[in-house]
Amino acid sequence: MTNAMSTYGFNHDKEYIEMVLDKDDETWVYYWALHKGTFAANDKELSIPVHLAVRFDKGKIIEEHIYFDGTAMNQEFAAIATDKAEVEAEAEKE
């Protein structure tokens, strides 16, 4: 996904981070934020809410889960592919 973006990263203005110690004495860090990116092909900006759940042991990440709704991103990839196919079809006619 990042190869298709000219810029990308998290919006740190509205992020939320929480660390918990669960009943099994495991340390988890939960992160909520907006991931923003600009598609290189058409300069369209996209913001996707994300949630990360990361488990640490002795200061190292040992498990990670990333949750987001990729619908808007997949729709944009499809639109870019359609636009490219149309341009190629027009070029073949000439």
Domains and CATH numbers, the chain: 2-93 (3.10.450)
Q: What is the DSSP string of 36-70?
A: EEEETTT--EEEEEEEEEEEEETTEEEEEEEEE--
Check whether 1 has a pLDDT greater than 80. Answer: no
Q: What are the tens digits of pLDDT across the range 27-78?
A: 999 999 999 999 988 889 999 999 999 999 999 999 999 999 999 889 988 9
The helix/strand/coil state of 91 is helix
Q: Hunting for tokens 């079809």 — which residue is that?
A: 89
CA proximity to 56, closest of 32, 23, 17, 30: 30
